[in-house]
Structure 1
Amino acid sequence: MSLENPHTLPLHGGDLIAAEARYGIPRAQWLDLSTGMNPRPYPVSGLPDDAFQQLPYLLPELVGAATQYYGQSDGIPLSGSQACIEVLPQLLPDLPVLVPEIGYQEHRQHWLRAGRMVVDYPSQDHQAMLTCIDQALAQNPHQHLLVINPNNPSGLCIAPEKLQQWARQSRGYLIIDEAFMDVMPDGSVLGNYVEPNMVVLRSFGKFFGLAGIRMGFAFAEASILAAIDEKLSLWRVNGPAQHIAIQALKDIEWQQTALQRIQADHDATLTLVSEAMALLVDARLTTDTPLFFGYTMNKTSALKVHECLAQCGVLVRFVELPDGEGMLRFGLMCGDDTDGQKKLASALKTTVSTINGA
């Protein structure tokens, strides 16, 4: 593989199957820092037999638990927020859509597949982003606006008051992807800042560390929810996933403990990585959120670091940026995982030695 071609890298984080095939390292031996998920998943236990045996009609207990957790009642569960990302462009009015230049690319791809005009706005500099969106909506309010909040991977976050202002200004829809918002709940529009033309997406798997059960939620006005519901498949959320989500969404004690542990895991991981990145000439910390952080450098260096770490069994996320730069996004490891710490420290030491000695 050429290190100059990022398109040969996995499209998404967590693809240990592709990593195993490419590097010959068994999946169980990888330290996966490529996903941005809580490394301490919610403990799953005590699922009833009927969760597996009965057809998965929507449980009212799930609706109630989600309403209490998110502070918003007008929502529907999904088999991951990805499901809504894929169908939403087909359901909203045919208007141009403003999308972040850097961000979760599934949004852009599905708006383009729906034949919509996609207009970029900068998403690495906070003030540039605010200015660009303000000007765009002032010049033409008949546009949809997509905001990934916080942005993945740049980490930029827009205050809910500002999002509400944009929603009131726009004659289109404001789609807000809050996939990583559980760890900073005061930044959510849900509860106090929702407008009729907002569509808010929430991911269950990031904070609860259970991406494999495919659970998410969409919040919007009734007509949009009905259109989403009609577009998606019958029995779209399986029984075990519903029961697990009910337990997790209601477990306030676990949630409070998880927030504290995530911060500790973040600090431990960042400390290890920052010591190594300081030894690379052009690496600089440009993203820092509770569940992931990112170092930006020139693209060639970023690809080399990514490759060196992978050869040592550590998987991180490479993101191509404008102007010949690249970002390495690091998720978290458990701060008390001694073996993981040793593996990461060794991989970073080997990588720095290889890059600086090249």
Structure 2
Amino acid sequence: MTRDHGGNIDAAIAHYGGSDWIDLSTGINRAPYPIPPLPPEAWTQLPTQTAKQALLDAARLAYGSKAPILATAGAQAAIQMIPRLSAPARARVLAPTYNEHAACLRAAGWRVEEVSRFNQLDGADLAIVVNPNNPDGKSYSPEDLLNLSAKVDRLVVDESFADAQAPLSLAARAGENGLIVLRSFGKFYGLAGVRLGFVLGAQSDIAALDAMAGPWPVNGAALHIGTLALADQSWAHATTTRLRAECQQADALAEAAGWLPLGGTELFRLFETPDAETAQARLARHQIWSRIFPYSNRWLRLGLPAGQAEWARLTQALVP
């Protein structure tokens, strides 16, 4: 599968021109957590163990887990390290989904099979489930995932889009039957540039990943920002409420344009269009960038605009 990603706004600018773009090609919250003033030592000193522990404590509380946990430079860093936890064997990835899982496994020598049905994961040496899934938002119950973890040697559940869907999370059960849970900070909090994520699992797995990551896997600014943001539950609750209302607004606009809503999460919506490339070009004429996929000529994914001006641009593009 092509290793393509959203966020390639430079390609849009190169192709269409212009500079005043709204990048809706990612699942990153465009109304981010307000960055507080940072202490000078966040920039001038090496990250301390005290700051690292404060972040991990905040993450455990936010994710409702007491499991061993490691902070990484985004969930992506953990995705790249996990294939090295054991010798390459048979991996199965529930697809279509975030393509870095299969790509990183293949790069590490794993035999990767991308399967379309949940029960096809049974018997794998390593199984990957993104929950809720990107790009369609499909989700699986914690009970079904725990049952699956007993049928595979190691199960990785990527919860990068689970912040607004706490009942789905298996963070509290990480480590059971070798279960590994990934969390992303940058998407829900809208601060993808700080490169912060977490991996939870059994003590032996977290220790091995910690050794791979090295002594300073997360920068001082990310430690400070992440600690404050993860502890701000009032912001998280208000943001979840807002995003859910805006999902309905985005779906209604797409339906008015003749597109079929297929699902998504609180941070992005997936639509079936008559032709995805034509739909993307339609939005691009209004300098709105979207995401299309190499495995579907009809699917288009949109993040959510932020503020009245961006919503007005999207409305004009879809319902002129």
TM-score (norm 2): 0.93
Cα deviation, residue 284, structure 1: 2.5
Note if contact 2:175-2:200 (Cα within 8 Å) is conserved in structure 1.
Answer: no
Note if contact 2:94-2:128 (Cα within 8 Å) is conserved in structure 1.
Answer: yes
Q: Secondary structure at the match of 2:171?
A: coil
Aligned-partner residue type, residue 45 of structure 2: Q
Note if contact 1:164-1:193 (Cα within 8 Å) is conserved in structure 2.
Answer: no
Which of 215, 228, 231 aligns to 2:209? It is 228
Unpaired runs of 5+ in structure 2?
Answer: none
Percent identity between the aligned chains?
34
Q: Secondary structure at the match of 1:255?
A: helix
Aligned-partner residue type, residue 229 of structure 2: A
Relative to structure 1, is the Cα distance of residues 289 and 238 closer, same or farther in structure 2, using a 3 angstrom cutoff? same
Whole-Å separation in 1 of the counterparts to 2:295 and 2:308: 33
Whole-Å separation in 2 of the counterparts to 1:270 and 1:169: 37
Aligned-partner residue type, residue 113 of structure 1: A
For residue 328 of structure 1, what is the aligned residue in structure 2?
Answer: 300
For residue 155 of structure 1, what is the aligned residue in structure 2?
Answer: 137
Aligned-partner residue type, residue 132 of structure 1: Q
For residue 11 of structure 1, what is the aligned residue in structure 2?
Answer: 4
For residue 130 of structure 1, what is the aligned residue in structure 2?
Answer: 118
Aligned-partner residue type, residue 48 of structure 1: P
Note the alpha carbon deviations across 1:254-296, whole angstroms, 9 max, x for none.
11111111112222222222211x2xxxx42222322211112
Relative to structure 1, is the Cα distance of residues 55 and 49 closer, same or farther in structure 2, using a 3 angstrom cutoff? same
For residue 105 of structure 2, what is the aligned residue in structure 1?
Answer: 111
For residue 355 of structure 1, what is the aligned residue in structure 2?
Answer: none
Q: Kindly indicate whether residue 271 of structure 2 is the aligned counterpart of residue 295 of structure 1.
A: yes
Cα deviation, residue 42, structure 1: 0.5
For residue 71 of structure 2, what is the aligned residue in structure 1?
Answer: 77
For residue 309 of structure 2, what is the aligned residue in structure 1?
Answer: 339
Cα deviation, residue 297, structure 1: 4.0
Which of 11, 28, 31 aligns to 1:40? It is 31
Cα deviation, residue 234, structure 1: 2.9
Aligned-partner residue type, residue 135 of structure 2: P
Whole-Å separation in 2 of the counterparts to 1:200 and 1:346: 40
Aligned-partner residue type, residue 144 of structure 1: L
For residue 128 of structure 2, what is the aligned residue in structure 1?
Answer: 146
Whole-Å separation in 1 of the counterparts to 2:315 and 2:209: 46
Note if contact 1:312-1:347 (Cα within 8 Å) is conserved in structure 2.
Answer: yes
Whole-Å separation in 2 of the counterparts to 1:19 and 1:233: 36
Cα deviation, residue 192, structure 1: 4.5
Q: Kindly indicate whether residue 158 of structure 2 is the aligned counterpart of residue 188 of structure 1.
A: no
Cα deviation, residue 349, structure 1: 4.3
For residue 305 of structure 1, what is the aligned residue in structure 2?
Answer: 279
Note if contact 1:75-1:217 (Cα within 8 Å) is conserved in structure 2.
Answer: yes
Q: Secondary structure at the match of 2:170?
A: coil
Whole-Å separation in 1 of the counterparts to 2:283 and 2:205: 44
For residue 94 of structure 2, what is the aligned residue in structure 1?
Answer: 100
Note the alpha carbon deviations across 1:91-126, whole angstroms, 9 max, x for none.
22432011123110011111111111111211xxxx
Whole-Å separation in 2 of the counterparts to 1:234 and 1:21: 39
Whole-Å separation in 2 of the counterparts to 1:297 and 1:189: 34
Q: Kindly indicate whether residue 250 of structure 2 is the aligned counterpart of residue 250 of structure 1.
A: no
Whole-Å separation in 1 of the counterparts to 2:135 and 2:287: 22
Aligned-partner residue type, residue 290 of structure 1: E
Unpaired runs of 5+ in structure 1?
Answer: 1-5, 123-128, 351-358
Relative to structure 1, is the Cα distance of residues 345 and 132 closer, same or farther in structure 2, using a 3 angstrom cutoff? same
Cα deviation, residue 51, structure 1: 1.0
Q: Secondary structure at the match of 1:191?
A: helix
For residue 318 of structure 2, what is the aligned residue in structure 1?
Answer: 348
Which of 179, 191, 197 aligns to 1:210? It is 191
Note if contact 1:320-1:327 (Cα within 8 Å) is conserved in structure 2.
Answer: no
Relative to structure 1, is the Cα distance of residues 256 and 101 closer, same or farther in structure 2, using a 3 angstrom cutoff? closer
Relative to structure 1, is the Cα distance of residues 194 and 220 closer, same or farther in structure 2, using a 3 angstrom cutoff? closer
Whole-Å separation in 1 of the counterparts to 2:233 and 2:270: 30
Note if contact 2:283-2:318 (Cα within 8 Å) is conserved in structure 1.
Answer: yes
Note if contact 1:309-1:315 (Cα within 8 Å) is conserved in structure 2.
Answer: yes
Note the alpha carbon deviations across 1:168-198, whole angstroms, 9 max, x for none.
122x100110000001010011115751411
Whole-Å separation in 1 of the counterparts to 2:113 and 2:71: 29
